[in-house]
Amino acid sequence: MPEGDTVFLAGHRLHEALAGKTLRRGELRHPRLSTLDLAGLDVLGVRTYGKHMFTRFSDGNSLRSHFRMDGAWHLYRPGERWRRPAHQARAVLEVDDRQAIGFALHDLEFVPTVHEDRLISHLGPDLLAPDFDAAEAVRRLTEDRSRPIGLALLDQRVMAGVGNLYRVEVCFLLRVSPWAPVSSVDAERAVALSRKLLQANQWRPEQITTSDPRVRNWVFERTGKPCARCGTRIRSGDMDARTVYFCPNCQSV
């Protein structure tokens, strides 16, 4: 699952490539949107919020895309070979010098730009927003203090942007198990760590959560490998149909 920083960086790159330019080709290969032809529209800009991206056009509408588990936007030069199969392309936005291809974007909506906020009104504060409301994120995180912290961190209604990688890394840095209740966690620190990790990676494609040169991440996808802090073998388990990773020695329940 792409994290909020992945979406942020993709949105920034699309904005740099398309904003202020006219679409020579604009195809949406989605059942509800396949009859739309966006060619001739100007791209006004690209906005992101958590894991949602809005590409704005001169007709007063926006294309909302969500990456889900395997979605991505790629940029290419004209004639350059795509790195994913053409049948996975759900959106093709082409200007004179660049192609933006949205692959495996299962969630696409074409809505009036003035209605963008309706689609994200249920979400918590965006961790990468300049005006991020930490107090509101803490309030939402602690609404159900009996809830496992691993579930609460991944809930986009609490904070927008945390994916599976950051939830397990935040739990490790807090020294708590993903199954520990929110009541056992320093909620302010959990919010601050979530924001810190996303900000640290928002301008690079690789996600690094540790300063230890031996490893990029403390526990994520490191099942069976020694913990970089104590040497205990990293373990994994299931939580909400996803795999979570943890050190049984460093992280208490």
pLDDT in tens, 119-138: 999 999 999 999 999 999 99
**Domain co-membership, 99 together with 18:** yes
pLDDT of residue 69: 83
pLDDT at position 1 = 64
Domain that holds residue 199: 134-246
CATH number at residue 79: 3.20.190.10
pLDDT at 222: 97
Which residue, 120, 151, 186, sits at the end of a domain? 120
Query: Quick check: is 232 in a domain?
Result: yes
Vertex 16, ends 49 and 72: CA angle to 5°?
55
Number of domains in the chain: 2
Same domain? For 102 and 154 the reply is no
Residue 96 counted as domain residue: yes
Residue 106: the pLDDT is 83
Same structural domain for residues 101 and 141?
Answer: no
pLDDT in tens, the chain (253 residues): 689 999 999 999 999 999 999 999 999 999 899 999 999 999 999 999 999 999 999 999 999 999 888 899 999 999 999 999 999 999 999 999 999 999 999 899 999 999 999 999 999 999 999 999 999 999 999 999 999 999 999 999 999 999 999 999 999 999 999 999 999 999 999 999 999 999 999 999 899 999 887 799 999 999 999 999 999 999 999 999 999 999 999 998 7
In a domain, 252, yes or no: no
b/e burial code for range 118-155 (CB count within 10 A of at least 16 → b) = ebbeebbbbbbeeebeeeebbebbbeeeebbbbbbbbb
213 and 238 fall within a common domain: yes
Same domain, 142 and 114: no
Rounded CA gap, 122 and 89, in Å? 28
The verdict on 113 and 146 lying in the same domain is no
CATH number of residue 145's parent domain: 1.10.8.50
* Residues annotated as catalytic (active site), given as ranges: 2-3, 51, 242
